[in-house]
Chains A and B, each alone.
Chain A
Amino acid sequence: MTNDKLARGADRPALIVGLALLAVAGVVYYDASQQTITSNYGVGPTAMPYVACVGLVLLGLAHLVVAFRDGLPKPEEADTGALLWIVGGLVGLIACIAFGGGFTIAVTILFSFTARGFGRRAFAMDAAIGFVMGLTIFLVFAKLLTLLLPAGPLERLFL
């Protein structure tokens, strides 16, 4: 522990992880305390949650200690723009599936957004690749594996 670190106060990431672990432990504890079914022999379904809870509390406290000592490893600066494109692609994917847009369009969104996040500028071409990829996967699953991926208006044309 150096004076330099003390001057800057606690390491924020370690502090957040520590508090988050304590919060998770709290949720696990609350859930276990609300359970109604118990076991006649040995331990019931609440035992393991309590064990996990104790573990999480100890680890959370340890993180708080670490926060005031060395802290977590310092990561390099992240490329936020790239991350946002990919996150946007994933959110678009979930929304498309949730509102019945179908697998193919969802994959088109995901593929083109991710490629954009990784620095490509050919959006239309990537969207085309994603579209073909999505439709192919959908058809292979439906016809060969008899597994139905989420279908939208477009997929129903082929079924």
Chain B
Amino acid sequence: METTLSLLNGFSVALEPSKLMFCLIGVFLGTAVGVLPGIGPALTVALLLPVTFKLDPAGSLIMFAGIYYGGMYGGSTTAILLNAPGESASLATALEGSKMAKAGRGGPALATSAIGSFVAGLIATIGLAFLAPWLVEIAIKFGPWDYFALMIVAFVTVSATFGDSPLRGLTSLFLGITLGLVGIDKLTGQARLTFGVPELLNGIEVTTLAVGLFAVGEALFVASKRFRDPEEIIPIKGSLWMSKEDWKRSWAPWLRGTAFGFPIGALPAGGAEVPTFLSYSTEKKLCKYPEEFGKGAIEGVAGPEAANNASAAGTLVPLLTLGLPTSATAAIMLAGFQQYGLNPGPLLFAEKPDLVWGLIASLFIANVMLVILNLPLIGLWVKLLAVPQPWLYSGILVFATMGTLAVNASPVELGLLFLFGYLGYLMRRYDYPVAPMVVGLILGPMAEAQLRRALQISLGDPMILLENPISATLLGLAFIALVAPFVMKGLNRFKAAED
């Protein structure tokens, strides 16, 4: 009952004209970047952080969430029509979706992914609205040791458990944690790893690292292999609408996809790829026409698309209630909260209910806007794919520079951007995941602060971490998650989320 009231209150915020405007800009941008190959929601939010610094916090955060949801919708378009997933969460969609498009059934494939995303987004957002207050009740009782343990779990799952190679994931994570050390220590004022460069005293900006790794790194990587496989857009033939048969075969995969996506997104388990592939293999097993799989089965589009949207809503649960990001986009959204001096967590629900519930309510609105934007306007999004690649990447680099200079207009900052960009290129080249590095930079200092707070309370006794049941359990889980991939090589099938 209380939740319903809060949610209604949230709608009164989210339905203000200015908030609706932000929401619309967000879903529009989100769909666009989801469609364009090479740029995802994480990068877009990172680029917008400095620009939104002076705008209304609630509006900007609503826009960021719109970008996140929009990116999940837009990714399916590229996956289906280009067989080139715009973001990693659409990899599974591309498997069947592009086959459907080649068979002249691109319309129904796009429709089932848009409607499936809508259904999943709606159910998962309801899940978020009702789960969040309950988790907040629990989180209120958390001590610094519990938060520390939770962050360790996130570190391990984001970098080691679901990656191709735990070694490369952990390397990326530890480099991020090391970068997080740069600057003045907040508790004592000690300068660390600044080497006498005054620009480094404030630490490494999240925007600079994220934009460098994602935008500059990606541009260099694409340029380095641009003679490879020219992609061809498959034109949409025939009706956009789904037949009765399509509906009948789609609704169950939508619901099952949601059932995979939401809980796995909510757990600190590394983003949207795991549930999309789980959904894909489940549908393959349950399908009445297994012979169609590999040739364009609609179930193989409906399920994974629902799963990836549901997981986006799922990642917002730990982000809003615990301040714990479990995907790169969530990590950068956390930086978005922080730039306004807001710290997601139980306190935020108590102090700024309008903002939190306005944000949750806006997700419902974003979903409605997205299904409208995506179905009738699909032709517009397809045209976006025709932007010449040189201009696309030149433009991305210009915006990357702009974002970095807006944070800190100094050549040192640009030099860092360039260094991180080259690092991002090398990491892509040798198959190191970049997301753990961003998570390490953002969560590293937070984990350090919680650990030191915990040890101050215990007067320096580290056993406090193991004496509290919650933190002890979480650390145990983290340990299992760290060791498991080395024990069971089978887990490596699931690649880590890069977005």
Q: A90-B418, A110-B397 are in contact. Are A66 and B51 (CB under 8 A)?
A: no
Task: Give the residue of B50, B411, B451 whose beta carbon is less than 8 angstroms from that of A94.
Answer: B411
Chain B, residue nearest A32 (CB): B192
Contact across chains for B225 and A103 when beta carbons are under 8 A apart: no
Chain B, residue nearest A30 (CB): B193
Q: Which residues of A contact B289 (CB under 8 A)?
A: none
Contact across chains for B430 and A75 when beta carbons are under 8 A apart: yes
Task: Give the dominant DSSP class at A's interface.
Answer: helix
Q: Which residues of B contact A31 (CB under 8 A)?
A: 192-193, 195
Q: Which residues of B contact A106 (CB under 8 A)?
A: 401
Task: For residue B423, give the distance in angstroms from its CB to the closest CB of chain A.
Answer: 11
Task: Give the residue of B178, B429, B451 whose beta carbon is less than 8 angstroms from that of A24.
Answer: B178
The reply to whether the CB of B243 lies closer than 8 angstroms to some CB of chain A is no
Q: Which of B103-111, B167-175, B234-242, B306-314 is near enough to bind chain A?
A: B167-175
CA distance A63 to B50 in the complex (A): 37
Interface residue tally on B, bucketed by range:
35 or more
Q: Which residues of B contact A91 (CB under 8 A)?
A: 418
Q: A37-B190, A43-B451, A118-B223 are in contact. Are A28 and B171 (CB under 8 A)?
A: no
CA distance A45 to B414 in the complex (A): 28
The reply to whether the CB of B431 lies closer than 8 angstroms to some CB of chain A is yes
The reply to whether the CB of B448 lies closer than 8 angstroms to some CB of chain A is yes
Task: Give the residue of A36, A73, A85, A90 whose beta carbon is less than 8 angstroms from that of B430.
Answer: A73
Tell me which residues from 211 to 235 in chain B have a Cβ below 8 Å from any Cβ of chain A. Answer: 216, 219-220, 222-228
Q: Which residues of A contact B225 (CB under 8 A)?
A: 76, 78-79
CA distance A43 to B389 in the complex (A): 51
Contact across chains for B429 and A75 when beta carbons are under 8 A apart: yes
* Number of chain A residues close to chain B: CB under 8 A: 73
Q: A45-B192, A52-B177, A149-B406 are in contact. Are A119 and B390 (CB under 8 A)?
A: yes
Contact across chains for A13 and B226 when beta carbons are under 8 A apart: no
The reply to whether the CB of A48 lies closer than 8 angstroms to some CB of chain B is yes
Contact across chains for A126 and B394 when beta carbons are under 8 A apart: yes
Tell me which residues from 89 to 103 in chain A have a Cβ below 8 Å from any Cβ of chain B. Answer: 89-91, 93-94, 97-98, 103
Contact across chains for B223 and A73 when beta carbons are under 8 A apart: no
The reply to whether the CB of A83 lies closer than 8 angstroms to some CB of chain B is yes
Question: How does the 8 Å CB contact mask read for B67-82 relative to A, with 1 for contact and 0 for none?
Answer: 0000000000000000
Chain B, residue nearest A72 (CB): B430
CA distance A76 to B429 in the complex (A): 8
Q: Which residues of A contact B391 (CB under 8 A)?
A: 115, 120, 126, 129
Chain B, residue nearest A56 (CB): B174
Task: For residue A81, give the distance in angstroms from its CB to the closest CB of chain B.
Answer: 9
Task: For residue B278, give the distance in angstroms from its CB to the closest CB of chain A.
Answer: 25
CA distance A33 to B80 in the complex (A): 55
CA distance A98 to B454 in the complex (A): 44
Tell me which residues from 402 to 460 in chain B have a Cβ below 8 Å from any Cβ of chain A. Answer: 402, 405-406, 409, 411, 414-415, 418, 421-422, 425, 429-431, 444, 448, 451-452, 454-456, 458-460
Chain B, residue nearest A66 (CB): B167
Q: Which of B180-188, B337-345, B352-360 is near enough to bind chain A?
A: B180-188
Q: A59-B170, A147-B54 are in contact. Are A52 and B220 (CB under 8 A)?
A: no
The reply to whether the CB of A21 lies closer than 8 angstroms to some CB of chain B is yes
Task: Give the residue of A13, A37, A89, A130 whose beta carbon is less than 8 angstroms from that of B188.
Answer: A37
Task: Give the residue of A38, A43, A149 whose beta carbon is less than 8 angstroms from that of B452.
Answer: A43
Q: Which residues of A contact B188 (CB under 8 A)?
A: 37-39, 44-45
The reply to whether the CB of B388 lies closer than 8 angstroms to some CB of chain A is yes
The reply to whether the CB of B393 lies closer than 8 angstroms to some CB of chain A is yes
Chain A, residue nearest B186 (CB): A45
Contact across chains for B192 and A49 when beta carbons are under 8 A apart: yes
Q: A45-B188, A49-B192 are in contact. Are A145 and B54 (CB under 8 A)?
A: yes
Contact across chains for A43 and B405 when beta carbons are under 8 A apart: no
Q: Which of A21, A35, A43: most chain B CB closer than 10 A?
A: A43
The reply to whether the CB of B398 lies closer than 8 angstroms to some CB of chain A is yes
Task: Give the residue of B224, B431, B452 whose beta carbon is less than 8 angstroms from that of A42.
Answer: B452
Contact across chains for A93 and B414 when beta carbons are under 8 A apart: yes
The reply to whether the CB of B189 lies closer than 8 angstroms to some CB of chain A is yes
Contact across chains for B418 and A114 when beta carbons are under 8 A apart: no
Q: Which residues of B contact A89 (CB under 8 A)?
A: 397
Task: Give the residue of A28, A80, A148 whose beta carbon is less than 8 angstroms from that of B181.
Answer: A28
Q: Which residues of A contact B (CB under 8 A)?
A: 13, 17, 21, 24, 27-28, 31-32, 35-39, 41-45, 47-49, 52, 55-56, 59, 62-63, 66, 72-73, 75-76, 78-80, 82-83, 85-87, 89-91, 93-94, 97-98, 103, 106-107, 110-112, 114-120, 126, 129-130, 133-134, 137, 141, 145-150
Offer 14 A-B interface pairs, CB within 8 angstroms, sorted by A.
A21-B171, A31-B193, A31-B195, A37-B189, A38-B188, A43-B455, A45-B192, A87-B220, A90-B421, A94-B411, A94-B415, A107-B401, A130-B398, A149-B402
Known: A43-B452, A49-B181; 12 extra A-B contacts, CB below 8 A, are: A27-B193, A37-B188, A37-B190, A41-B456, A52-B177, A79-B223, A86-B220, A93-B414, A110-B397, A111-B395, A120-B391, A149-B402
Q: Which 7 A-B pairs have the closest CB atoms?
A: A42-B455, A118-B390, A98-B411, A78-B224, A45-B185, A115-B390, A114-B394
